[in-house]
Amino acid sequence: MIVNSVNISNLTTMPDLIRILNPFCGQVAQALQNGLNFTDNIRANFVVVSFPKTANQNVQIQHGLAATPIGYVPIRISAACSIYDGVSLVIGPTFVNLKCSVAGITATILFF
């Protein structure tokens, strides 16, 4: 996490600018080398879902967000299928209903 803020409007020489920016650039490099997680930058959560042995059944999924999600994207799916909105898609700020066109699928879904 980058925590410093710098006011460069009062700097008069290039060496001053370099002196001020070096620590900041080091923090940026460290953040990039350690890897940035997709979910660090947006309110999102990956959830692994196992759909039932019967296709096209509502599955209530706890999405793990602190707010009502605005969407979802299937990221990894164990077989070809369609994952789509279930009856009453959003159930409060904690759960959503989804359906899958194929029985017994396991999917990783990104909720955001």
Nearest residue to 2 (alpha-carbon basis) of 30, 22, 21: 30
- Residue 102's pLDDT is 98
Residue-number span of the structural domain to which 15 is assigned:
1-36
Nearest residue to 57 (alpha-carbon basis) of 90, 97, 96, 88: 97
Quote the tokens at residue 24.
Answer: 């900041």
Measured from the Cβ of residue 82, the count of other Cβ atoms closer than 10 Å reads 13
Are 56 and 106 members of one domain? yes
Q: Which residue has the higher pLDDT, 59 or 6?
A: 59
Q: Please state the domain count of the chain.
A: 2
pLDDT at 33 over 80: no
Whole-Å CA distances, 26 to 10, 18, 105: 22, 12, 44
Are 55 and 100 members of one domain? yes
Are 80 and 46 members of one domain? yes
Residues 56-100: tens digit of each pLDDT = 999 999 999 988 888 999 999 999 999 999 988 777 789 999 999
Are 27 and 49 members of one domain? no
Largest CA distance in the chain: 70
